[in-house]
Structure 1
Amino acid sequence: MLLRLPTSVPEAQECLAEGAVPVGGATLVWATWQREGFPQQAVSLRELPEANVIGRETVGGAVVLQRLDEKVPDVLRLAAATVGTGAVRRTATVGGNLVGSTLRCLLPPALVLEAQATVLEPDGVREADLAEVVAKRPLLLDLRWRTPVASAYRKLPGAAGGEPPLVVASALHAGSGTGERLNVAVRDGYDVLSGSTLRGTDAEAPLRALRATALGELPAAAWDVVRTQVADLLDGHGSH
């Protein structure tokens, strides 16, 4: 297998046009390739500057999870810190987790941050929303978002060999004349549900509103985790 390491966007486009398979950090695809056979050529973005940025409001698709530190919002940093082992986090990438993984541990944080993706295709670079990223699995160049007022993340302990553990992510965003906006996303099993509402004037108002979104389908135990996280997030950040 030929591993191609483009150093420019045009070179990366050329790799895709010639059929190179995106490899990410290879933590997920390597076992599959060993079992089913290796492609003729693969492409990694680890040498592409545009895919390795990290800042307060952006992260590249080739950034390894261990690099997600205090520069990024808490919800993203905490999520990355719970993925696999230290060895996995030193290799696994943001793009691989969002696009190549069935667990998608970073998807709930990306949803509550209202992140937009930049994707790389053989014919160019374009913007895409997270729904398209999940459905079509393009090559992720970067994610971009606006810094939230506050954010939170919790992953419950999981049973070995069982379903993925429950994940709850939330973020509070500054409003534009309509008050602060609260976003919550939950991974329940392999399903990711999300909801959004205005903060409201009392502690129960946003919870009642979230019940009317897709989050209302959550079982009682999961909803209890949502309730606790939302209460803590709002209590820690008084109305502005």
Structure 2
Amino acid sequence: MLLRLPTSVSEAQECMAEGAVPIGGATLVWAGWQRDGFPERAMSLRNLPAATVVEPEALGAAVVLHSIDDRVPEVLRRAAGSVGTGAVRRTATVGGNIVGSSLRCLLPAALVLDARATVLGPEGAYEADLAEVVAKRHLMIGLRWRTPTVSGYHKQPAAAGGPPPLVVATAVHADGEGRHQLRVAVREGYEVLSETTACDVDTDEVLHALERTDVGALPPAARDQVREQVAGILGSLPGR
């Protein structure tokens, strides 16, 4: 297997045109390759500058989860810290988790940040929403978002090898006029849903508004956890 390490977007495009398979941190593909055979060409973005940034409003797809620290919002940092074991987090990447994994632990965090992905296609790099990235399994270069006022992440404890644990991610953003929007994303099983509502009202009103969305169709235990997380994050808003 020939492993390519492009250092520019144009070089990464050339690798794609040659049929190189993106490997991320290889935590998800290695076992399959050992069983089914290795591809002729593979590609890692770990030497591509745009894919390795860790900034307050940007995160590269080739960043390993262990490297995600307090430079990014709390919701994303805590999501990364909840993935697997320390050994897994030292090799698994942002892009591999969101695009290559069926669990997608980082996806709820990215959704509540209203993040947009930069992806690489045959014609070059362009911006796409996360639903498109996940559905079409694009080659992701990185994520960008606006810094939230507050954010939070909760992942239920679960035994290794069992069903995916419930995840509730929350974030509050302020617009240019100081009005606040609450974003909530929930992973229940393998499905992820997200909703947005105004939150410059009483907490009970916010919760009632969420109940009228797809959040209201979640199982009772999941709805209880959403209510707890929403009440907590709204209670942490400055001046509330």
Q: TM-score range by the shorter chain?
A: over 0.9
For structure 1, the 5+ residue unaligned runs are: none
SS at match of 1:104: coil
1:172-191 equivalences in 2 (<5 Å) = 172-177=172-177, 179-191=179-191
Whether 2:165 is the aligned partner of 1:161: answer no
Tell me, in whole angstroms, the C-alpha distance in 2 between the residues paired with 1:235 and 1:202.
10
The residue identity in structure 2 corresponding to 1:54 is V
Q: Hey, what does 1:30 align to over in structure 2?
A: 30
Q: Hey, what does 1:229 align to over in structure 2?
A: 229
Identity of aligned residues (%): 64
Residues 16/52 of structure 1: CA separation in 2 closer, same or farther (3 Å cut):
same
Tell me, in whole angstroms, the C-alpha distance in 2 between the residues paired with 1:39 and 1:125.
24
- Measured against aligned partners, the alpha-carbon deviations of 1:56-80 in whole angstroms (never above 9, x if no partner) come to 0000000110111000000000000
Shift of 1:175: 2.5
Tell me, in whole angstroms, the C-alpha distance in 1 between the residues paired with 2:104 and 2:160.
18
Tell me, in whole angstroms, the C-alpha distance in 1 between the residues paired with 2:50 and 2:129.
18
The residue identity in structure 2 corresponding to 1:164 is P
Tell me, in whole angstroms, the C-alpha distance in 2 between the residues paired with 1:33 and 1:123.
29
Q: Hey, what does 2:88 align to over in structure 1?
A: 88
Shift of 1:217: 1.4
Shift of 1:178: 7.2
Shift of 1:238: 3.8
Equivalent pairs, count:
240
Shift of 1:239: 4.9
Q: Hey, what does 1:40 align to over in structure 2?
A: 40
Q: Hey, what does 1:97 align to over in structure 2?
A: 97
Shift of 1:147: 0.1
User: What TM-score do the two structures reach when normalised by structure 2?
Assistant: 0.97
The residue identity in structure 1 corresponding to 2:28 is L
Whether 2:107 is the aligned partner of 1:68: answer no
User: What TM-score do the two structures reach when normalised by structure 1?
Assistant: 0.97
> Is the CA contact 1:182–1:197 (under 8 Å) kept in the aligned structure 2?
yes
Mean Cα deviation higher: 214-223 or 165-174: 214-223
Q: Hey, what does 2:130 align to over in structure 1?
A: 130
Shift of 1:121: 1.7
Shift of 1:162: 1.9
For structure 2, the 5+ residue unaligned runs are: none
SS at match of 1:209: helix
SS at match of 1:39: coil
Tell me, in whole angstroms, the C-alpha distance in 1 between the residues paired with 2:152 and 2:27.
27
- Measured against aligned partners, the alpha-carbon deviations of 1:205-237 in whole angstroms (never above 9, x if no partner) come to 111111111211111101111111111111111
Whether 2:49 is the aligned partner of 1:49: answer yes
- Measured against aligned partners, the alpha-carbon deviations of 1:108-137 in whole angstroms (never above 9, x if no partner) come to 000000000000123211110001011001
> Is the CA contact 1:194–1:213 (under 8 Å) kept in the aligned structure 2?
no
How large is the Cα RMSD of the aligned pairs?
1.1
